[in-house]
A and B are shown apart, each in its own frame.
Chain A
Amino acid sequence: MRTWRFLVVLVVVSHLTLPGLWPVAPPPAVRAQAVDVFLNVTGGGSRKLNIAIPEFTVTTGADPAGNGKLLASVAGADLTFSGLFSVVAATGAIPPNNPQALEQSWKEFAAAGAHAGVHGLLALRGERAEVEMRLYDLTAPDHRLIAGKKFELPAGQLRRLGHKVADEVVLQFTGEPGVADTKIAYVVGPVGRKEIVIADYDGAGITPVTRNGSINLMPVWSPDARSLAFTSFKQGYPDLYRVFPFERRPDQTLAAFVGINSSPAFSPDGKGLAMTLSKDGNPEIYVLNLASGTMRRLTRHAGIDTEPTWSPDGRQIAFISDRSGAPHVYMMDDQGTNVRQITSGGFHTQPRWSPRGDTLAYTQRAGAHDIWLVDVDGSNPRRVTSGGDNQGPTWAPSGRHLAFQSNRLGRWQIFAALADGTGAAPITRGGAESTSPSWSPRLP
């Protein structure tokens, strides 16, 4: 006889009637139906879908560390963060190979208001770990299975399995994967000694990237999520380098000209790197062809031109120029032609083009700094942060979230929020100053 206990937490309760959901269908059709259901449930607004995630069931191997519980917690936190789900949490795992127990628990979760249930099956095989995710429709009378998928990773990357489950659930309901299996690179350390680190998007697993005791700034991910470009004073001057944090491979020097070498931005196809160089007299924007080493100059102006950011299609570059007197956001095509001013008034830096292509984030200084969004045609500027000083926006690969640095709690920390600024929460909590975040693309 087994006993286990549920602790059900409905983070947000929606009293919804959901007649006739999720008909039996092959996976693609299921997804289309699931999207419809999701939109019906959420109304496309702020209501969320209630999803139950009991502890993962360990099917193979011993789990003295409680990884089944950990992974349910990781995936649950990811789904909460997505802003699309309210997680119905539970304690106690469903025993393996026990359909009656599974059905009984779904019945109870459904009664508590859950619309869907995720059952994770965890196999621990020494060096490897595997999770099978099974997604159930709890609004259907038979609580039918609507999707399933397996993921395998080295045991040392166990938490990623929870992230992958969450991303798959988001994919099933929205048609686009979640962003939980991503990293954030950022800068830590006191004045005069700043090093680059990477962590999971939720702040776990902080890993050093640079250890040179110098000043390292402005990390940005390459589109394949395998490398970072950054500015470092490690050779004395502000030069541009590239590091491969997951490989045994030496750093590359990308630009070490007289003057400033800074503000790297990989083109969306990964073949080019836009940057700021002052070698020709004052800060101008150039694009380095990474295969040939050819450098192409895009701007020619006596003002400061810096901080390039690419449109997702790679055909436009937004940047900062103070040619009008104070820094504002400008745009040009990738040949440097058709320059036009996008923002005006105020003091604007740090433009970052949204992965969806329709919006730019930037930092406005008005005493303190705040993150603003503006449509790419310059219309509808709106502030999305408040409290303390907020800088350095970086988009999640979905465009649904932003991370940024804020000192609203005292020291600089990295925060993440939905793109409209709601739900802002710190993802770093250490004693060190944490600045200049860069959100990675989805990991391969």
Chain B
Amino acid sequence: MLSRCAHVTIASLLVLGVVLAGCAKRPATTAATAPAPTGAAATTPGGGSTGAGPTTMAPSGETSGTGSGTTMTPTTAAPGARPSPAEFVANENLRDVYFDFDKYDIRPPDAKTLDANATWLKSNPGHLVLIEGHCDERGTNEYNLALGERRAKSAMNYLVSQGVQASRITIISYGEERPVCMQKSEECWAKNRRAHFLVKAR
């Protein structure tokens, strides 16, 4: 013999309605005036390039990696190909340069900063330089990683154009991952859109 008591409660599920109306599209922010990136202007069928191991701007061409067919052998870079970023330190003679939102071209006041940086580097040939490219927090991580690299590369190209040996320069992009300023304001974002310079003795 069983006794029961049933309590029935009826509740309605709140269904979140989402307005699917299209939202206003803002004009695309186009990138960059200078320096123009180099490379083929048209997309061509992938011919493939490179294999395992570190490369420096390797020419394309089908090559095979060192991996064996049985267990997956990852494409590991040999240590020493890239100097460790941790070995570089700030130097008071090298100043940051800053970028407009979504841009990576060098602005005139920043060109003056880079001129001074180039002058110091040319008179201190015993130092290698690491250029970090950074973005503000707006934008998505992956795209900002690419944008940060463009900024570092813009700064590098400028220094090279002023006579600094390219072989002394290493670049790294941190995307939006290492801001110097944490507030959500244009003033703060402007400080984060930067190329930062570090040095180490050869």
Stretch of A119-127, A147-155, A156-164, A341-349 lying at the B interface = A341-349
8 Å CB interface, B147-181 against A? 147, 149-150, 171-175, 177-179
- Asked if B42 and A422 sit within 8 Å, CB to CB, the answer is no
* B108 contacts the other chain (CB 8 A): no
- Asked if B2 and A104 sit within 8 Å, CB to CB, the answer is yes
8 Å CB interface, B4-24 against A? 4-13, 15-24
* A65 contacts the other chain (CB 8 A): no
8 Å CB interface, A104-155 against B? 104, 108, 112
Complex CA–CA separation, A108 to B54 (angstroms): 69
List chain B residues, Cβ under 8 A from A397.
Answer: none
* B74 contacts the other chain (CB 8 A): yes
- Asked if B18 and A384 sit within 8 Å, CB to CB, the answer is yes
Stretch of B33-41, B111-119, B121-129 lying at the A interface = B33-41
8 Å CB interface, B130-151 against A? 138-143, 145-147, 149-150
List chain B residues, Cβ under 8 A from A336.
Answer: 43-46
Complex CA–CA separation, A297 to B47 (angstroms): 6
Residue on B with the closest CB to A112? B8
List chain A residues, Cβ under 8 A from B22.
Answer: 381-383
- Asked if B11 and A385 sit within 8 Å, CB to CB, the answer is no
The interface size of chain B toward A, counting residues with CB under 8 Å, comes to: 88
List chain B residues, Cβ under 8 A from A295.
Answer: 48-52, 65, 75
List chain A residues, Cβ under 8 A from B141.
Answer: 217-218, 435-436
A 279-295 to B, binary, CB cutoff 8 A, 1 in contact else 0: 11111001011111111
* A59 contacts the other chain (CB 8 A): no
- Asked if A349 and B17 sit within 8 Å, CB to CB, the answer is no
Select B40's contact among A12, A258, A289, A300, beta carbons within 8 Å.
Answer: A300
Complex CA–CA separation, A369 to B46 (angstroms): 32
A327 shortest CB reach to chain B, Å: 6
* A194 contacts the other chain (CB 8 A): yes
List chain A residues, Cβ under 8 A from B76.
Answer: 253, 256
8 Å CB interface, A70-125 against B? 86, 100-101, 104, 108, 112
Stretch of A3-11, A36-44, A169-177, A200-208 lying at the B interface = A3-11
Select B177's contact among A215, A293, A384, beta carbons within 8 Å.
Answer: A215
* A429 contacts the other chain (CB 8 A): no
List chain A residues, Cβ under 8 A from B39.
Answer: 281-282, 300-302
Instruction: Given A215-B177, A422-B16, decide whether A294 and B64 contact each other with a Cβ distance below 8 A.
Output: yes
List chain A residues, Cβ under 8 A from B41.
Answer: 301-302
Residue on B with the closest CB to A83? B15
- Asked if A366 and B26 sit within 8 Å, CB to CB, the answer is yes
Select B46's contact among A215, A298, A363, A370, beta carbons within 8 Å.
Answer: A298
* B25 contacts the other chain (CB 8 A): yes
Complex CA–CA separation, A112 to B11 (angstroms): 13
A51 shortest CB reach to chain B, Å: 14
- Asked if A258 and B4 sit within 8 Å, CB to CB, the answer is no
List chain A residues, Cβ under 8 A from B7.
Answer: 5-8
- Asked if B146 and A294 sit within 8 Å, CB to CB, the answer is no
* B30 contacts the other chain (CB 8 A): yes
- Asked if A346 and B28 sit within 8 Å, CB to CB, the answer is yes
B 41-74 to A, binary, CB cutoff 8 A, 1 in contact else 0: 1111111111110111110100011110100111
Select A297's contact among B25, B30, B46, beta carbons within 8 Å.
Answer: B46
List chain A residues, Cβ under 8 A from B12.
Answer: 11-12
8 Å CB interface, A280-328 against B? 280-283, 286, 288-304, 306-307, 320, 322-327
- Asked if B10 and A10 sit within 8 Å, CB to CB, the answer is yes
List chain A residues, Cβ under 8 A from B138.
Answer: 365
Complex CA–CA separation, A256 to B177 (angstroms): 19
List chain A residues, Cβ under 8 A from B67.
Answer: 289, 291-294
- Asked if A296 and B46 sit within 8 Å, CB to CB, the answer is yes
* A30 contacts the other chain (CB 8 A): no
A302 shortest CB reach to chain B, Å: 4
Residue on B with the closest CB to A193? B177
Residue on B with the closest CB to A299? B43
- Asked if B23 and A366 sit within 8 Å, CB to CB, the answer is yes
8 Å CB interface, A213-259 against B? 215, 217-218, 231, 233, 236-239, 242, 252-259
Complex CA–CA separation, A335 to B18 (angstroms): 38
Complex CA–CA separation, A4 to B5 (angstroms): 8
- Asked if B25 and A366 sit within 8 Å, CB to CB, the answer is yes
Select B58's contact among A86, A280, A303, A345, beta carbons within 8 Å.
Answer: A280
* A13 contacts the other chain (CB 8 A): yes
List chain B residues, Cβ under 8 A from A218.
Answer: 141-142
List chain A residues, Cβ under 8 A from B56.
Answer: 258, 279
A104 shortest CB reach to chain B, Å: 7
* A414 contacts the other chain (CB 8 A): no
- Asked if A12 and B74 sit within 8 Å, CB to CB, the answer is no
A401 shortest CB reach to chain B, Å: 14
- Asked if B74 and A281 sit within 8 Å, CB to CB, the answer is no
Complex CA–CA separation, A81 to B21 (angstroms): 25
List chain A residues, Cβ under 8 A from B36.
Answer: 302
- Asked if A276 and B142 sit within 8 Å, CB to CB, the answer is yes
Mark B residues whose CB is within 8 Å of A: 1-13, 15-26, 28-31, 36-52, 54-58, 60, 64-67, 69, 72-77, 81-82, 84-86, 138-143, 145-147, 149-150, 171-175, 177-179, 182
A-B contact pairs, 5 of them (CB 8 A): A194-B177, A231-B145, A291-B67, A301-B43, A423-B16
Q: Which 10 pairs of residues, A with B, have the shortest CB-CB distance?
A: A293-B67, A293-B65, A336-B46, A326-B28, A256-B77, A302-B39, A325-B30, A421-B18, A298-B46, A296-B48
